[in-house]
Amino acid sequence: MERGELTEVTTGDCSDLYYLDTGMYDTDGYGAAYVLDAEQPAVVETGIGTNHERILAALAELDIAREELAVIAVTHIHLDHAGGAGFLAEACPNADVCVHAAGASLLADPGRLVAGTKAAVGDQWEFYTEPKPIPEDRIREIEGGDVVDLGDHELRVHEAPGHAFHQVVFEDPENDAVFTGDAAGIWIPGTEEIVETSPPSDFDLEQCLEDLETIGEIDPGVLLYTHFGPRKVGDDLEDALAEYGDVLSTWVEAVESKRRELEDDEAVVDHFAETVGSERADTWGERKASAEAAMNVRGVLGYLDGE
């Protein structure tokens, strides 16, 4: 699909659902945003903000007036998921921004969020734009067990704090689907490969594995990845989740082993940035693949220090 192109999700039993490639980091097939054309329309995930106009164009293509958008829902406040929320809220004056209560204040006053993001992503920051603060009266704080009512659809909220303490996943029972955020890894549809995501500073392996159990208990037929796109799992859900658990555990073991070998954390980062970056250059381009690997290594190193 082309960046900005709106595509209907026909995977599994999905209806009223669309997604687009936001062109995040000038990379194809990395960052998706979803539009749920429900009685009370919703956008799920907002990208880094740089290309938020593409989401607004998608609403127009679906004949959803900006005043009609009811909900802007983000799985967590990392800026590749929530960076566009303030721009969309400004453009869509009647939409509530639904975000975990633990992260809500950082969308209202994003200074510390920006500083943490700059530290995590390094020179990738050039692809971002400063997020717009969201007025507190526009933010709807959510927690596990809450339900966001969209009329003929609903978003059921489930806690998933392994990737970040402020992460949730959204279950859409009508579509037998779950918006996974980063709780189920990064899906590469072209090669049907699932790969790790373990950024600083909150990554916790054991909790990530518990989050996979949470998704398993929901038992969806479709996983809707922010990175990237819909995936039908059906009866293979257990295997799909187990595969990501293995990928994530193996990744942490590899970083830990290389740390023991090199005894220099920056050398460990450089090693994986080069090797993993080279392996995934055909998918995301060498620069993004290398930067992604370096960020994920730093997250694992922080986790190992905290054990």
Question: What structural domains does the chain harbor?
Answer: 6-246 (3.60.15.10)
Flag whether pLDDT at 264 surpasses 90: yes
| Residues 6 or more apart whose Cβ sits within 8 Å of residue 272 | 254, 255, 258, 293, 294, 296, 297
Three-state secondary structure of the chain? CCECCEEECCCCCCCCEEEEECCHHHCCCCCEEEEECCCCCEEECCCCCCCHHHHHHHHHHCCCCHHHCCEEECCCCCHHHHCCHHHHHHHCCCCEEEEECCCHHHHHCCHHHHHHHHHHHHHHHHHCCCCCCCCHHHEEEECCCCEEECCCCEEEEEECCCCCCCCEEEEEHHHCEEEEECCCCEEECCCCEEECCCCCCCCCHHHHHHHHHHHHHHCCCEEEECCCEEEECHHHHHHHHHHHHHHHHHHHHHHHHHHHHHCCHHHHHHHHHHHHHHHCHHHHCHHHHHHHHHHHHHHHHHHHHHC
Alpha-carbon gap, residue 123 to 126, rounded angstroms: 6
Alpha-carbon gap, residue 194 to 118, rounded angstroms: 26
Residues paired with 17 in a beta bridge: 36
CA nearest neighbour of 103 among 134, 61, 69: 134
Check residue 1 and give its pLDDT: 83
Check residue 225 and give its pLDDT: 98
Interior angle at CA 65, CA 158 and CA 11, nearest 5: 45
N-terminal to C-terminal alpha carbon distance within the chain: 42
Alpha-carbon gap, residue 141 to 161, rounded angstroms: 16
Could you tell me the pLDDT band of residue 300, with boundaries at 50, 70 and 90? very high
Could you tell me the pLDDT band of residue 2, with boundaries at 50, 70 and 90? confident
Which residue shows structure tokens 């993001």? 117
Lowest mean pLDDT among 63-72, 123-132, 242-251: 123-132
Number of Cβ within a 10 Å radius of residue 270: 16
Question: Average pLDDT, whole number, for the chain?
Answer: 96
Check residue 200 and give its pLDDT: 94
Flag whether pLDDT at 307 surpasses 70: no
Check residue 242 and give its pLDDT: 98
Q: Can you tell me the mean pLDDT for 103-111?
A: 96
Per-residue pLDDT tens over the stretch 198-220: 999 899 999 999 999 999 999 99
Check residue 29 and give its pLDDT: 94
Per-residue pLDDT tens over the stretch 129-170: 999 999 999 999 999 999 999 999 999 999 999 999 999 999
Could you tell me the pLDDT band of residue 74, with boundaries at 50, 70 and 90? very high
Backbone angles phi, psi at 264, to 5 degrees: -155, 110
Alpha-carbon gap, residue 1 to 54, rounded angstroms: 14
Alpha-carbon gap, residue 200 to 296, rounded angstroms: 7
Alpha-carbon gap, residue 131 to 138, rounded angstroms: 15
Alpha-carbon gap, residue 269 to 279, rounded angstroms: 15
